[in-house]
Chains A and B, each alone.
Chain A
Amino acid sequence: MRKKQGIKMFLEPEKMSRVEIEFPQQYINEVTQALVRSGHFQIEDSSALNMRKTSEFDDEMQERYNQYGRLETDILAVMKQLDIKPGKMPEIEPEVIENPEEILQELEAVRVELGKMDQRTEEIRKTLENGKRFLNIMEPFKDLDIEFGAIRNRRYIYSILGIIPTEKIERFKQSFARIPFVLLELSQEGPNTIVLLIGNKIQQDFLIRTARSAYLNSLDLPDEYHGTPAQIVAQTQAEMDKGTQELETLRKDIEALRKKQADLLVDRYWRVRMSRTVSEITNRFGRLTHDLLVVGWVPQDYSARFQKTLADISPDIIVDVTEENELEEGQKPPVALHHTKPVEGFQKLVTTYSTPNYQEIDPTILLLLTFPILFGAMFGDVGQGLFLALVGALLFSGKVSKLRGLSKLGPVVVLCGVSAAIFGFIYGSVFGFEELIKPLWRHPIEDIMGILILTFAGGALLLSIANILALVNDARRKDWAHMIFSGKGVAGLVLYWSLLGLLITSLTKVISLPKGLLIALALIAVVMIMSTGFMERLLERKRPLFEGGFLVYFIQSFFELFEALIGFLSNSLSYVRVGAFAVAHAGLSQVIMILAEMVGPNKGAGFWIVIVLGNLFIIGFEGMIVSIQTLRLEYYEFFSKFFSGGGTRYKPLGFLSSSK
C-alpha cells in the first residue's frame, strides 16, 4: 500500500487478500497473539462455521474470558481506591496470563491490606463527623456556667436543658398553666432561646411530651460527659484532634501502599486486559472437527509477511490466501481509507454519506478539492475568510477543550476560509467593504448574469468529472454495457456535451461549433441510451432481449431517457445557486453597511459596532447556510453520479479492540 504512488493511492482503496487459517487448538494463544500483534488482520466472525458441538475446551475458553473480565473489574476497583491511573498501554507488549489465580492472589493481598486501612479510616471519619455534629449542638450552650452533673438525676425535680424557637415560648408557658414549673431563659441564640425547664419529677413524662410539642430540643448528653459545657467541648475537641492525627497517619500508610503497589497493579491491569482481548477474539474462531479456523482480511502487500509469521509458529498451521481477483461472489473485502490527519475531516464528510465500497473510487480527495472552492465562491470575502481560517486552525489545534470533538473538522474550515479569502480578492471584498481593494475580477453584484453563467459552467465541469468517474467505477466493476450505453455512461456524457455545445453555439458568438455534428452526436447518444437494457441483456446473454415486449421496453426506455435529460438540466442549474449565493453574500454585506451608516453616520463607535456584529452574523449565519448548500451540491449533484457506497471499513484487530 505504501508503495503506491501518485493520486491513485488517494482514489483507490487498498488491495486486500482474504485469509483462512486452520490450526490445531494447542496453538490458540500463539496464533491469536500473532493476529493481534500484526496490526493488519481484520477478523470475520467464523463461529457460525462451527462443525462440532460445544466442548470442554470451549467451556474453558468462555470461563477464562469471564474470569479475565471479573479480574479486570477488581483490579480497576483497587486502583481507583488507591488513586492509580492505568495510563497508556506499556510499550513492551503485556504477556497473556496463563493462570489467573496467581493474579487473583496478588490482588487479594493488596485488597486485604487496603481494606484494613479503609475500615479504620471510615471509623475515624465517622467519629469525627459525630464529634463535629456534637460540637454544633453544644455551640449554643458553650458559654453557660452550669455543671451538668448538678441538673442530672435529681431525686425530686426533673429538668430539661434545651433550645426552643423564641416565638413558641409564650404559648409553651401557657400550655403549662395547670402544673407547677420553672422556665429559665438562659440566653438568646438567633431566633432561638436556650432554656432550662424545671418541674416535678412525678410529671417527667408530661414535661417531656409538652416540651417536644413546643419543639424544645433537649441537649441529651451521654452519662460520661461531666462538667460545664466548656469542659465538655474541650474534651470532645481533644478526642477529635487525636482522630485527625490518626487519620493523617493512615493517609500516609495508604500513600506508601500506593507507591509500593502502583507498578505491580498497572502491570497486572494491562496483562489482564490483554488476556481478555485475546480471549474475546478466540470466541470468534470457528471450531472444526479437530482444528480451529480463523477467517479474515489482510492488505495484499502484507500477505506474504503475515503467512511467514504464522508459519514460524508451527508448520501445522495452514494458511490459505485468496487474492482480490479470485474472490467468490459475496466475499466483500473491507475498505481501508488511508488519509492523513488533516484530510480526516473530509473523509468524515464522505463516510457520513456512506463508506466507499471496495470497487469504487474514494471521493475524499475530490471532496477536498471541490468543497472549499464551492464554499469560497459563495462566501467570497478576504476578512471573513481569514477569520474562518483562524477559527478552523483553533479547532484543529484542539486548544479549546470543549471544541476538541470538532478538531477533525478544523482543516475543512481552514481550507474553506482560505478559499473564501481567495475569492474575496477576486470579488474585491474585505469584511463587507467593497472599496478597500480592487477586485481581481469584479463585484458579483455588479454582474449578476456573468457570475450565474460562470457558475453554470463550473457546474457543468463538475458534472462532467462526476460522469467520467462513474465510467471508471463501471470499468472497475466490468459493467461494460452500463459504462457505454447508459445515461450515466459514455452515451450520457456524449449527450450532455452535445447539448452543452448546442447551447453555447446558440447563445454565444464567441465559440461556434458545427451544429450538425452536435445534433448527430446527440441523436446517436439518445439511441444508445434507449438501447441500454437491450444491450445489457445481449451482453449477459439473457433472453428475451426486450423484457416485457418491445412496446413496454420502448416506453420504459423513453422515460429513462427523459429522466436523464431532466437530470442533466436540473443538476446543471443546481450549481447556479453558487452564483446566487455569491450575490446574496454581497447584498447582505451592503445591508450591514447601510445599517452601520444609519447608526453611526460619522463612522463613530456605533458604525463599528454594527460592522463587527454584522460580520459576526454573516460568518455565523450565512456561513452555516453556505456550508449546508455546499454539502448539498456535493452529496446530491456530485456524489450521486458516481458514488454508491455501502462498503465496510477496514478495522484490523488491535490489542484492546474489545475492551469494555
Chain B
Amino acid sequence: MGVSGVSAYGVLNVRVRAGLGEMLAPETFARMDGSPDVASILAILRDTVYGRVLSKADEGDANPRRITYLLRTHLTEKFEVVVENAPKVARPLIEQLFRLYEVDNLKATFRSIQAKDSWDKLSHLLFPMGGFITLPYEHMLATGSVPDVIGLLENTPYGQPLKAALPRFLQENDLFAIEVNLDLDYWAKTWKLIDDLPGGDRRLAHDLIGEIIERNDLLWATRFFLYYKLSAAEILNYTLGIGPKVPDEVIGRISQGEPLKSVLASIYPELRPKTVAEGAENLDVSHWEIELHRMYFRHCRSKLVGPPFNLGVSLAYLFLLEYEIEDIILLLEAKAMGLPRERYSSYLINKVFQS
C-alpha cells in the first residue's frame, strides 16, 4: 500500500482508530461480568462510549429489549462512519456487509408474519438501520402474507432469491427454503463484490470474509446433517463451498458423517488444542460455533497490527465492535435472568473471557 493507500484510507483510518480507542477495556468487561444486576451494568456503560446511545432510554423504558436496540444503534452509526469515509471502490462491500442485518430483519419479518405478531413486537426485534435505506417492515407485516411481501420486494436485491423459494414456501408453508436461499444469495453476492476491490484490499477481504463463509458452511452442513437428516446432495446445494479452506470436499466429509471436531482439527491448526482437549468429542455444535467465533475474533485482532492504510483494519474493527456489543447484550440478558457465571461465560466471545 503506497501513497494512494494513505490518501484513500487516511481519514478512515483516523476515524477507525478513534473508534478502536473507544472500545471497552478488558477491565470494564470484567467489572460488568462481576456486576450483580442489569442496573449495575448500565451504570458502568453510561460512563463509556455507550453512554450517549443509552441516554435515549428513559427510566421507564430501560428494558433489555430497548437497551439491546440502543446498543446496536452504536454499531449502525459506526458503519455509517466507515461507509462515509471509505474510498468509493470499497463502499459497496461495506454497505453489503451492513445489509446482513437487513437480511436478518427480513427473516424476522417473515417469522412475525407467520406467527401473526404485532408491529410492536416485531419492531423490537429489528436491527436499527439508522440512515441506511431499508425495507418497509411495518407495511410488509401489515400485508400479513409472505407471498405478498415477496411480490412487494420483487424489484429489490431480494426479489430473485425470494421468487425462487416461493413455490416451496407455498407447498410447505415453512420459511426454511426462503431463509436458506436468502443466506446463500447474500453471501454469494458479498463474495462477488470482493472481486471489485483493488489487489491488496481484495486479498484482505477474501481473508476476512472467506472465514465467515467457511464458518457458515461448516455449521450449516453439520446442522443439516445432524438435525435435518439431509442427503449429501442436498447439503451441497444448501451450502456455498467458496471459502478457501472449506471447499465441497470438506462439506462432503461432514455430509458423510465425519465429526465436526475432526474436520476442524484438519483445516484450522490453530484450533487443534481445543479439538484434542479432554472431552472435546462431547461438545455440541454450538460450542464449536463459539470456538469458531473466538478464532475469528483473534483473526480480526491480528488485522489491527501491521500496515494501517487498508480496508482490513476497518472491516476488522466493525466485526470486533459487533462482537463487543453482542457480548454486552449477552451479559445484560444473563444478568436480567439471574444466571450464574458458569451458565453464560462459555458463550462470550471477547478475548477477556477466552481462557
- Chain A residues within 8 Å of B, Cβ to Cβ: 164-165, 167-168, 171-172, 174-176, 178, 191-192, 206, 209-210, 212-215, 217
Contacts and interface: CB of A to CB of B under 8 A. Distances in A.
Contacts of A209: 231, 233-234
A172 B160 contact: no
Given A210-B231, A215-B168, 4 more contacts: A175-B236, A176-B233, A178-B233, A217-B168
B241 interface: yes
Contacts of A167: 188
A164 B168 CA distance: 13
Nearest to A164: B164
Contacts of B232: 175, 178
A174 B236 contact: yes
21 contacts: A164-B164, A165-B160, A165-B164, A167-B188, A168-B237, A171-B241, A172-B237, A174-B236, A175-B233, A175-B234, A175-B237, A191-B160, A209-B233, A210-B231, A212-B177, A213-B238, A214-B237, A215-B164, A215-B165, A215-B177, A215-B181
Contacts of B126: none
**8 tightest A-B CB contacts, nearest first:** A175-B233, A213-B237, A213-B234, A217-B167, A175-B236, A215-B164, A210-B233, A214-B237
A233 B235 CA distance: 36
B248 interface: yes
Contacts of A212: 168, 177
A139 to B, nearest CB: 13
A210 B167 contact: no
A58 to B, nearest CB: 43
Majority secondary structure of chain B interface residues (helix, strand, loop or mixed):
helix
Contacts of B177: 212, 215
A206 to B, nearest CB: 7
B230 interface: yes
A180 to B, nearest CB: 13
Contacts of A215: 164-165, 168, 177, 181
A212 B180 CA distance: 12
B284 to A, nearest CB: 25
Majority secondary structure of chain A interface residues (helix, strand, loop or mixed):
helix
Contacts of A172: 237
A288 B188 CA distance: 85
Nearest to B160: A191
A164 B160 CA distance: 11
A209 B230 CA distance: 9
A175 B241 CA distance: 12
Contacts of A214: 237
Nearest to A175: B233
Nearest to B168: A212
Contact of A210 (B164, B165, B168, B234): B234
Contacts of B241: 171
B50 to A, nearest CB: 41
A178 B188 CA distance: 25
B231 A174 contact: no
B248 A174 contact: yes
A213 B181 CA distance: 10
Nearest to A210: B233
A176 to B, nearest CB: 6
B234 A217 contact: no
A206 B168 contact: no
Contacts of B165: 215
Interface string B201-241: 00000000000000000000000000000111110111001
A275 B234 CA distance: 70
A256 B146 CA distance: 39
B330 to A, nearest CB: 33
Contacts of A168: 237
B190 to A, nearest CB: 14
B236 A206 contact: no
Contact of B236 (A165, A171, A217): A171
B231 A206 contact: yes
Nearest to B171: A212
Interface in B233-266: 233-234, 236-238, 241, 248
Which of B160, B165, B167, B248 has most chain A Cβ within 10 Å? B167
Contacts of A217: 164, 167-168
A191 B233 CA distance: 23
Contacts of B181: 215
Contacts of B237: 168, 171-172, 175, 210, 213-214
A213 B230 CA distance: 10
Given A167-B188, A171-B241, A174-B248, A206 B233 contact: yes
Contacts of A178: 232-233
Which of A165, A209, A215 has most chain B Cβ within 10 Å? A215
Nearest to A176: B233
A215 B236 CA distance: 13
B249 to A, nearest CB: 11
Nearest to B248: A174
B297 to A, nearest CB: 30
B178 to A, nearest CB: 10
Contacts of B233: 175-176, 178, 206, 209-210, 213
B262 to A, nearest CB: 22
A176 B248 CA distance: 13
B183 to A, nearest CB: 13
A217 B177 CA distance: 12
Contacts of B234: 175, 209-210, 213
Contacts of B231: 206, 209-210
Contacts of B188: 167
Contacts of A191: 160
Nearest to B164: A215
A147 to B, nearest CB: 24
Nearest to B239: A171
Contacts of B238: 213
A256 to B, nearest CB: 35
Nearest to B181: A215
A175 B164 CA distance: 19
Contacts of A171: 236-237, 241
A128 B79 CA distance: 48
A638 B241 CA distance: 84
B314 to A, nearest CB: 29
Contacts of A164: 164
Contacts of B248: 174
Which of B160, B177, B233, B248 has most chain A Cβ within 10 Å? B233
A168 B240 CA distance: 10
A164 B163 CA distance: 11
A164 B161 CA distance: 11
A194 to B, nearest CB: 13
A192 B233 CA distance: 21
B348 to A, nearest CB: 35
Nearest to A215: B164
Contacts of A206: 231, 233
